[in-house]
Amino acid sequence: RTVAIEADPIRAARIGRNAAACGVPGLVVVEGSAPKALAKLDTPDAIFIGGGGSDAGVLNAAIKALRIGGRLVANAVTLEMETLLLARHVSLGGDLTRINISRASPVGAMQAWRPAMPVTQWSWVKP
């Protein structure tokens, strides 16, 4: 079972549509702010934390809420959130990955690669 918590109703609806379109109909989308919304849920099997935050409280609450053997995946695009993920990787282990994506776009009459913001991803299974 996977639960997504999203405070913005428009983004929450988009998550639901994307899950259905990508073959993940069992995804539960909860409108609310973490960690408050997380406290009201059953024990989740997997938690995904998006890339914009820098709140250690959300990360700590997710780790605490996750069942034994459950997976936590957290993304960081900010230096502050990346610092939190690096610290958790050092203390708890798991996998740390840097994801870089570039898209082709015009440069005059030719094409060149334009990089998007890199994402640092920490994936961890609760022992």
Q: Which of 45, 49, 9 is nearest to 30 (CA)?
A: 9
- Asked if residue 5 belongs to a domain, the reply is no
Q: Any idea how long the chain is?
A: 127
pLDDT value of position 100: 96
pLDDT value of position 44: 87
In the DSSP assignment, the letter for residue 39 is: G
pLDDT value of position 1: 66
pLDDT value of position 52: 63
- Asked if residue 57 belongs to a domain, the reply is yes
- Asked if residue 6 belongs to a domain, the reply is no
- Reduced to 3 states (helix: H, G, I; strand: E, B; else coil), residue 2 is strand
- Asked if residue 16 belongs to a domain, the reply is no
pLDDT value of position 82: 94
Write out the chain's pLDDT in tens, 127 residues: 677 888 899 999 999 999 999 999 888 888 988 888 888 888 988 888 886 667 788 899 889 999 999 999 999 999 999 999 999 999 999 999 999 999 999 999 999 999 999 999 999 999 9
pLDDT value of position 67: 93
- What's the total number of domains in the chain? 1
> pTM of the full predicted structure?
0.80
Contact yes or no for 60/49 (Cβ under 8 A):
no
Contact yes or no for 70/44 (Cβ under 8 A):
yes
- Asked if residue 94 belongs to a domain, the reply is yes
Structure tokens at 54: 């820098």
pLDDT value of position 41: 87
- Asked if residue 19 belongs to a domain, the reply is no
- Asked if residue 7 belongs to a domain, the reply is no
Of the CA atoms within 13 Å of residue 34, those in its CB half-sphere come to 25
- Asked if residue 101 belongs to a domain, the reply is yes
Domain that holds residue 41: 33-125
Instruction: Identify the CATH number of the domain in which residue 59 sits.
Output: 3.40.50.150
